[in-house]
């Protein structure tokens, strides 16, 4: 059974902005899944709908076979949520934050205390259990939100930009813990605009841009699409037949235009040598960027722009 199925999800905000334009998404149980996209793509809106913080305009959501509209409480109990904003009482001691959350799910106080200790130790927050929330650094607050999200033992954990603004060392420690959780069977979905985060953590990725899913697939497959570049060549003469150029994938657009895919292992020099050997002369050439590639480049620019 899939952990999550979203069908034709749409969200139009009150001001008329269409943040989700009919999103279909399926996530298998046990998966570690990234919703990857640039800022403003609609990731938080999607997560907000899954976690009942935002009302959808239309479409449906099922979590482990339970419909969000018909069984909202069951869906809530199956999900642990780590939102982007710190949404708790800043004067509450760390331990209470977790114990109170267990209370919302009807867990008796004694057991709540035991679970709070377990997760606070796991997330290396036990020494800080009596500190007020407001005294924690950003990274520690984020870890506390993870502990809080886990205290009712959800089958699926959803994290919205879990490592935004978290320094590298803490980010790595969080990654390790998320991997451990996933290995223990918890399905994890996270949103991120860090390519590296999706690449190193997630088995599957959906790429979202402007409210639509642009691509879904295994991380390795999607990223290998970035390892080829396509060039469009305008030829001097006409060619009747596609030449065989070892290692290069050619396609003829018309009898004087070729498209060539170049794997990053090859060089453009190599391409031109091969063309010359076949008596093909090139007048001009341009790089044909596919949409996915453009999206990735925008994201990389964003990452660079945000780097400290
Ligand atoms: P992401 O999480 O991918 O950065 P969001 O889901 O936060 O994207 O936002 C998607 C788009 O919806 C953005 O253009 C954002 O400005 C817009 N948006 C988000 N919340 C609201 C709102 N409450 N009212 C109107 N527009 C919104």
- Closest residue CA from atom 27 of ligand 1: 13
Mean pLDDT (the chain) is 90
Domain ranges of the chain: 2-223, 228-306
Among 4-18, 119-133, 167-181, name the one with the lowest average pLDDT.
167-181
pLDDT at position 308 is 45
Tell me, yes or no, if the pTM score tops 0.85. no
The stretch 219-242 carries a mean pLDDT of: 84
The stretch 171-178 carries a mean pLDDT of: 90
pLDDT at position 257 is 93
pLDDT in tens, 246-305: 778 888 899 899 999 887 778 889 899 989 998 999 999 998 876 677 777 777 776 666
Specify whether domain 228-306 bears CATH 3.30.70.1560.
yes
- pLDDT category, 229, cuts 50, 70, 90? confident
Rounded Cα gap, residues 213 and 74, in angstroms = 27
From residue 56, alpha-carbon distances to 16, 50, 208, 235, 252 in Å are 13, 9, 17, 52, 45
pLDDT at position 13 is 97
Torsion of CA 78, 54, 205, 251, to 10 degrees: 150
Distance 211 CA to ligand 1 centre (A): 9
User: Domain 2-223, what architecture?
Assistant: 3-Layer(aba) Sandwich (3.40)
Token pair of 95, please?
């331990």
Token pair of 166, please?
């978290």
pLDDT at position 97 is 95
From residue 13, alpha-carbon distances to 38, 54, 72 in Å are 19, 10, 22
Nearest to 51 by CA among 189, 236, 153: 189
- Closest residue CA from atom 15 of ligand 1: 40
Pocket of ligand 1 (CB under 6 A): 13, 15, 17, 19, 37, 39-45
Distance 66 CA to ligand 1 centre (A): 27
pLDDT in tens, 100-146: 999 999 999 999 999 999 999 999 999 999 999 889 988 889 999 99
The stretch 157-176 carries a mean pLDDT of: 87
- Closest residue CA from atom 12 of ligand 1: 19
Which residues in the chain belong to E strands, given as ranges? 2-12, 18-28, 32-36, 58-63, 66-67, 79-82, 156-160, 187-192, 204-209, 212-218, 228-235, 249-254, 257-263, 282-288
pLDDT at position 126 is 96
pLDDT at position 139 is 86
């Amino acid at each position: 059974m899939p952990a999550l199925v979203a069908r034709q999800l749409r969200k139009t905000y009150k001001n008329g902005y269409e943040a989700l334009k009919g999103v279909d998404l399926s996530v298998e149980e046990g998966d570690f899944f990234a919703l990857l996209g640039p800022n403003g793509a609609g990731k938080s809106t999607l997560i907000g709908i899954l976690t009942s913080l935002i009302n959808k305009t239309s479409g449906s959501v099922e979590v482990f076979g339970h419909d969000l509209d018909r069984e909202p409480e069951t869906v809530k109990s199956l999900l642990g949520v780590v939102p982007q904003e710190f949404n708790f009482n800043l004067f509450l001691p760390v331990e209470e934050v977790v114990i109170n959350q267990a209370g919302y799910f009807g867990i008796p106080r004694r057991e709540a205390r035991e679970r709070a200790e377990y997760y606070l130790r796991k997330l290396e927050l036990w020494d800080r259990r009596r500190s007020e929330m407001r005294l924690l650094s950003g990274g520690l607050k984020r870890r506390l939100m993870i502990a809080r999200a886990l205290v009712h033992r959800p089958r699926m954990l959803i994290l919205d930009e879990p490592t935004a603004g978290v320094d590298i060392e803490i980010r790595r420690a969080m990654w390790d813990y998320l991997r451990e959780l996933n290995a223990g069977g918890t399905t994890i979905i996270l949103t991120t605009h860090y390519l590296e985060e999706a690449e190193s953590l997630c088995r599957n990725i959906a790429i979202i841009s402007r409210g639509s899913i642009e691509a879904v697939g295994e991380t390795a497959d999607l990223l290998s699409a970035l390892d080829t570049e396509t060039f469009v060549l305008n030829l001097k003469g006409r060619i009747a037949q596609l030449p065989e150029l070892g290692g290069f994938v050619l396609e003829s657009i018309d009898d004087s235009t070729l498209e060539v895919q170049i794997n990053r292992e090859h060089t453009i020099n190599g391409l031109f040598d091969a063309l010359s050997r076949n008596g093909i002369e090139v007048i001009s050439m341009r790089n044909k960027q596919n949409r996915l590639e453009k999206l990735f480049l925008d994201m990389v620019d964003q990452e660079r722009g945000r780097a400290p």
